[in-house]
Amino acid sequence: MPKLVTIDERKMASGKGVRVKGVNLDNVLGFGRQDDGVMNGVWLKGLVAGTGAIATLLIPASAFAQSAADYRQQGLSLREQDRYPEAIAVLQKSVELEPQSQSGRVLLGWTQHKAGQTPAAEKTLLDTFSLNPFDVPTLNALGIVYLVGGKLNNAIAAHSWAALLKPNNEIAHYNLSLALERVGQYDWAIATAKEAAKLEPSNPHPLVAEAIAHFGNQETSLAQTLLRQAIALDSRYSDPNFLIYLNEAGFSADQIRRSQTVLRSL
């Protein structure tokens, strides 16, 4: 995304036609003049070397400032490269520039979460929630941070509120299932996993979530049926070692072990 500044950066980069409030710096500095015997090589080199310093004095620093949107785009790019400390620093700048931006704060909190900074992510998203307690993306992100951090009652509350605000929110239903299964509410975990699977039928995760809830309910045959359905969607789920990846989908270590147990029983 181009920077929103008061000069044409492409011209500044090329050294041509730089203007400030209608003044051509080339003319002010003497570039382009052909006075005989005056513009010798030494003087020209000195002017070229001093151009940057003079331009800095003439152009306000704010003219070069990046917008909050620029910082968000930069932060996303850094995050995609797994450069989390740099991404977080840049996204913090975006929040400083636009403290009322809900999406900017969620982006920062989620990046902190992905970087493993759970307390920082929780604080950022709680502050964001206080700005607007009806924002579903905020609730989705906060609920996941609670879930991964083991604050299961908080996770259930956040995702329940998100599902109430947006009933077709598969993220909330799916994570509710994982949280409810961990507190032994198997029937509710099954119901919410079914809803998530209905909303996102191509995703194997809700099927595995429902499978372990049935397994907890002593319904092994139903658990096996659901795991077979997950394998039909993605054959990699037939490998117990692949299921370790489910930690990135919100499963706890115990839940992964239970899913592996169901798989080995097929």
From 48, 64, 80, the end of a domain falls on 64
Looking at residue 84, its pLDDT comes to 94
Average pLDDT along the chain, 266 residues, taken 10 residues at a time: 32 34 34 40 41 45 65 91 94 93 95 95 96 96 96 98 97 98 98 98 98 97 97 97 96 97 96
Looking at residue 66, its pLDDT comes to 82
Q: Estimate the crossing angle of helix 118-131 against helix 102-114, to 10 degrees.
A: 160
Within a domain: 264:
yes
Within a domain: 205:
yes
Within a domain: 48:
yes
Please write the tens of the pLDDT for every residue from 77-108. Answer: 999 999 999 999 999 999 999 999 999 999 99
Residues in Cβ contact with 221 at an 8 Å cutoff, skipping those fewer than 6 apart = none
Distance, CA of 141 to chain centre: 9
Distance CA 14, CA 22 (A): 18
From 40, 64, 88, the end of a domain falls on 64
Within a domain: 1:
no
Looking at residue 55, its pLDDT comes to 43
Q: Structural domain of residue 251, as residue ranges?
A: 168-266
Within a domain: 248:
yes
Supply the pTM of this predicted model: 0.75
Looking at residue 34, its pLDDT comes to 41
User: What CATH number is given to the structural domain containing 198?
Assistant: 1.25.40.10
Question: Phi/psi at 260 (nearest 5 deg)?
Answer: -65, -35
Work out how many domains the chain is built from and give that number: 2
Within a domain: 180:
yes
Q: Are 111 and 87 in contact (CB under 8 A)?
A: yes
